[in-house]
Amino acid sequence: MTSFNDLGLNPALLTAVTAGKYTQPTPIQAQAIPPVMQGRDLLGIAQTGTGKTAAFALPILHRLAAADRRPAPKTCRALILSPTRELASQIAEKFRAYGRDMKLSVTVVFGGVGMNPQVQALARGIDVLVATPGRLMDHMQQGTLRLDAVETVVLDEADQMLDLGFVHAIKRISQALPKQRQSLFFSATMPQNIAQLAAGFLKDPVRVEVTPAATTVERIDQQVIFIEAERKRALLLEIMADPTITRALVFTRTKHGADKVARHLGGGNVPAAAIHGNKSQSQRERALADFKAGRIRVLVATDIAARGIDVTGVSHVVNFELPNVPESYVHRIGRTARAGKDGMAISLCAQDERAYLRDIEKVTRQRIPSTDRRGDEKLAAATAAEPRGENRPQQQRPHGHGQHRGNHRDGGQRNENRRGDSNGSHRSDGGQRTEGRGGQPQGAKPGQKPGGGRRFGKPQGQRSNNGGGQNRSSQRGSVH
């Protein structure tokens, strides 16, 4: 079995890996690191939790150290593009940790904070720059950064980049890069539009695919509970009464919904906080720090804000609302069962979400075990006791599937993060679209069986089928 020592990495990197108690590379690391070290372009298809950050960070640091050059002022040698603030910060932290014994500078730039400290850092020249597209273009337009000296560029979470409307920004950034460069492209899914973007971004790439696209990891037990929309919050409190739920991520589709769920949990003596693009950067960082430290038990998040949340020990993921993009389901539940541990994913499905469930089961190639709690008298009583006005189901706006109209400069996408950029422009850095993407669901799924257990730790039935064998997305002793 391959070890990190077999990969020929810089001794300083091996020391950092050993200090982190990582024993052997994950499948994507073992397959990606050698060609990236050789300077090849790479197309990586990998889900969250597979260790892909180290798959590009380690060989990039190795190559930067081997070249032994200093960056010129207002330039960077390696550029990593990330869709969200949280993910950008996480990637930068990994680069700093792996390169701690190397004299290489690492800087992260994103919206929602002042530009002056970023301008000062960029003025000196940077070895590794991690950036969100909107803020990166701010610096390019103001002349505080140029990209003509980039040696390696990484496009991470490419599918999410397109989902946020960054496609035009990515193309403009690509045009500012030197033609002679190394390009790395990572995506959890590879639909036609992503494949077309990759084809224009890469030259004769090595393709690395460690899991089939849009499949769920083997260590996650999944369950769907059919419930009326107005009784979801009562059911969520019942679920959280289970002591086996030690740390949970709860997903909603909207910012407003996340705030309402967090308030409801707090009113039920379940410590919780919400994280989404309307929160300031300090609020998001504080909520995430409290969740990591165990000061709150539940973090309620929207899909985009949750990108980059790499917290070990998440025992449960609860889909308070099913995502209207089936690939988002894979990303959501991938937040549990990390570092070789088991996890549980519970989805609350109202009548108008049945079409979303059908899409998820089709894309993930599995039938998720279900329980029917509609008409439950206990939940009806709990719902009746809620404060008036708090139990109305959320109304959805009828959007076309995946289409948003408008004049957002990065593709017309509506987004969460419309505050905080120093120049007052609207950004998608870490933000989320405000409403669902799908059309209205079309009725109930036939053949659903009522009944089943009501415990929310390990399900009493069989483990859901994962649509055939695949590599596990995380393992003991792996670098993430």
Same domain, 358 and 263: yes
Per-residue confidence (pLDDT) for residue 211, from 0 to 100: 63
3-class secondary-structure state, position 187: strand
40 vs 58: CA distance, rounded Å: 14
pLDDT mean across residues, the chain? 79
Domain end, chosen from 369, 384, 399, is at: 384
Q: Which residue has the higher pLDDT, 382 or 206?
A: 206
Domain end, chosen from 185, 209, 233, is at: 209
Same domain, 60 and 174: yes
Q: Which residue has the higher pLDDT, 162 or 308?
A: 162
- What digits encode the pLDDT tens for the residues 80-100? 999 888 889 989 999 999 999
For 257-295, the DSSP string reads HHHHHHHHHHHTT--EEEE-TTS-HHHHHHHHHHHHHTS
Say if 74 falls within a structural domain: yes
Say if 352 falls within a structural domain: yes
Average pLDDT over residues 121-132: 96
Per-residue confidence (pLDDT) for residue 1, from 0 to 100: 62
Would you say 129 and 159 are in contact if contact means Cβ atoms under 8 Å apart? no
Domain limits for position 24: 4-209
223 vs 360: CA distance, rounded Å: 13
Per-residue confidence (pLDDT) for residue 452, from 0 to 100: 41
Same domain, 195 and 308: no
Residue 139 has pLDDT above 90, yes or no: yes
pLDDT band at 48 (very low <50, low <70, confident <90, very high): low
Domain end, chosen from 181, 209, 237, is at: 209
Average pLDDT over residues 368-393: 74
Closest by Cα among 469, 474, 25, 464 to 224: 464
Per-residue confidence (pLDDT) for residue 282, from 0 to 100: 81
Say if 96 falls within a structural domain: yes
Residue 261 has pLDDT above 80, yes or no: yes
Residue 345 has pLDDT above 50, yes or no: yes
Q: What is the CATH number of the domain that holds 157?
A: 3.40.50.300
Same domain, 257 and 177: no
Same domain, 236 and 124: no
Residue 143 has pLDDT above 80, yes or no: yes
Same domain, 170 and 225: no
399 vs 416: CA distance, rounded Å: 17
Local structure of residue 462 (DSSP, 8 states): P
Say if 470 falls within a structural domain: no
Q: Provide the CA 207 distance to its chain's centre, in angstroms.
A: 22
